Amino acid sequence: MASSVTPTPLLKDELDIVIPTIRNLDFLEMWRPFFQPYHLIIVQDGDPSKVIKVPEGFDYELYNRNDINRILGPKSSCISFKDSACRCFGYMVSKKKYIFTIDDDCFVAKDPSGNDINALEQHIKNLLSPSTPFFFNTLYDPYREGADFVRGYPFSLREGVPTAVSHGLWLNIPDYDAPTQLVKPRERNTRFVDAVLTIPKGTLFPMCGMNLAFDRELIGPAMYFGLMGDGQPIGRYDDMWAGWCIKVICDHLGLGVKTGLPYIWHSKASNPFVNLKKEYKGIYWQEELIPFFQAATLPKECTTVQSCYKELSKQVKAKLGKIDDYFNKLADAMLTWIEAWDELNPSTQLANGK
């Protein structure tokens, strides 16, 4: 397990790396110097009889659909099939405080000096330093070396709040929707923006699940990636759905969400025609979903992530059910998810109160 790059890996025993996949995990070779010290949770999507090869030397557990069905029983209905949304099963079975999740078409990016970026290390830095959701700091993350709060930043807000989520970005293939992919097939993201910033309270953002870390204890039960893929009318909205839900709940509970660094190298654009089929209802529905989440408020009595999430599920049913029956199913699945989470994580149910 000797690694020349990370002599003392941060949070080695407190973080799991969750990877949803349908193929052999050769991409891990490039991540070996950074990931090898950590435990991996691999969620195998699709045909459970297929054997997924994991490069030697990695410490991992792997779950396929049969495992999910066995562990959750009838509650497994809340875990998507044939969609990377299935990754959230890994969040649920983890016993660690922190999760980093990454797609298997994401590779190590280089910073402008040509050095390999240790994405995981940056996520950990983001999660371990506070967030500043109540007032914008124009020099970005005030806790980074060489930065601070600027003139005019209220002193009472300089302690910040705990960071629940760290959202990383992508060089090369940007995370575009199908219409944008179709219109700009050759666009590549080459701009390295050397910033981490807190997404202000009250502001929603499009959370991408490709390169994402979070504090399970603070926000885990809300990191549900919804019903997507097989048997469902949409796909590619799993991470978006989770992003809207976690942001509303983080805002309510006074937790922070950061975006920016680290970058990964996203190697392959998915097929825009296939994506369009998966997305088109989402593209239409999101015009109503976003105003819903923008207006959503949670009662004071909701002081745990679980209680917030259950309340949100109630509001989804009451206000979005009329758009399509899918949202009634989704609201039910949100409750099933929480039940399954609490079953597998009996201690966090109480510990999570704040």
Contacts with its own copies by CB under 8 A lie at 112, 135-140, 144, 146-156, 167, 169, 174-177, 179-180, 184, 187-195, 199-208, 236-237, 239-240, 243, 259, 279, 283, 286-287, 290
**Residue 199, both tokens:** 């997404």
Closer residue to its own copies in complex, CB, 139/344: 139
Closer residue to its own copies in complex, CB, 191/300: 191
**Residue 271, both tokens:** 């097929």
Q: Quote the least distance from Cβ 317 to its own copies, whole Å.
A: 22
Closer residue to its own copies in complex, CB, 62/204: 204
Find the helix packing angle between 272-295 and 238-253, rounded to 10°. Answer: 20
**Residue 93, both tokens:** 């079975």
Cβ atoms of residues 194 and 230 within 8 Å? no
Query: Residue 223 burial by CB count (10 A; 0-12/13-18/19+): exposed, middle or buried?
Result: buried
Query: Strands 163-172, 211-215: parallel, antiparallel or unpaired by DSSP?
Result: antiparallel
Closer residue to its own copies in complex, CB, 7/154: 154
Q: Quote the least distance from Cβ 155 to its own copies, whole Å.
A: 7
**Residue 124, both tokens:** 């950990």
Q: Quote the least distance from Cβ 180 to its own copies, whole Å.
A: 6
Residue 38 has φ and ψ, to the nearest 5°, of: -100, 160
Residue 13 has φ and ψ, to the nearest 5°, of: -100, 10
Nearest one of 286, 259, 43 to 170, comparing CA atoms: 259
Q: Quote the least distance from Cβ 275 to its own copies, whole Å.
A: 9
In the chain, beta strands by DSSP E: 15-21, 39-44, 59-63, 98-102, 106-108, 163-172, 196-198, 211-215, 256-266
Closer residue to its own copies in complex, CB, 53/191: 191
Q: Quote the least distance from Cβ 197 to its own copies, whole Å.
A: 8
Closer residue to its own copies in complex, CB, 62/290: 290
Find the helix packing angle between 272-295 and 305-320, rounded to 10°. Answer: 100
**Residue 12, both tokens:** 């080695």
Q: Quote the least distance from Cβ 304 to its own copies, whole Å.
A: 26
Q: Quote the least distance from Cβ 334 to its own copies, whole Å.
A: 19
Q: Quote the least distance from Cβ 153 to its own copies, whole Å.
A: 6
Closer residue to its own copies in complex, CB, 134/326: 134
Closer residue to its own copies in complex, CB, 27/285: 285
ω into residue 272 within 30 of 0, thus cis?
Answer: no
Cβ atoms of residues 246 and 221 within 8 Å? no
